[in-house]
């Protein structure tokens, strides 16, 4: 299975600031996704990170709030912009494709906005 490294693992941020989360995979993957898990809730897909082009966002999520980059087949970043306490969640990177026929998750980034 793919080994996925997410950084940072957790952070406490001031409202109005931005945080960039990194996702690094140990092998080339076709698909990379970003999910949000609000406290005590299930996971919700934010967007598909497309290599070399703009991310594809799900309903309710916009590029200005969650800009995403994917410069190559093993790396992606998610930025949470102009944060408010409502953004306090776990943000998770998921990968699939390449040598992987399954979908795997990183350990997540636990974000608290104060």
Interface residues with other proteins (CB under 8 A) are: 1, 6, 31, 33, 35, 41-45, 48, 90, 92, 94, 96-97, 102-108, 110
Residue with Cβ nearer other proteins (12 or 15): 12
- Min dist CB 88 to other proteins, Å, is 15
14/101 with CB nearer other proteins: 101
Say if residues 9 and 15 touch (Cβ distance below 8 Å): no
- Nearest distance in Å: CB 29, other proteins: 10
Q: Give the nearer residue to other proteins in terms of CB position, either 13 or 43.
A: 43
SS3 state of residue 9: coil
Smallest separation, CB 16 to other proteins (Å): 27
| φ/ψ of residue 15, rounded to 5 | -60, 145
């Amino acid at each position: 299975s793919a080994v996925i490294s997410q950084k940072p693992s957790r952070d406490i941020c001031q409202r109005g600031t931005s945080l960039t989360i990194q996702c690094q995979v140990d092998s080339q993957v076709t698909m990379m996704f970003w999910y949000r898990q609000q406290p005590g809730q299930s996971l919700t897909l934010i967007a598909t990170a497309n290599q070399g082009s703009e991310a594809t966002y799900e309903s309710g999520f916009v590029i200005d709030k969650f800009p995403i980059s994917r410069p190559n087949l093993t790396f992606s970043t998610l930025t949470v912009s102009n944060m408010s306490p409502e953004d306090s969640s776990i943000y998770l990177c998921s990968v699939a494709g390449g040598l992987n026929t399954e979908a795997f998750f990183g350990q997540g980034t636990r974000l608290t906005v104060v």
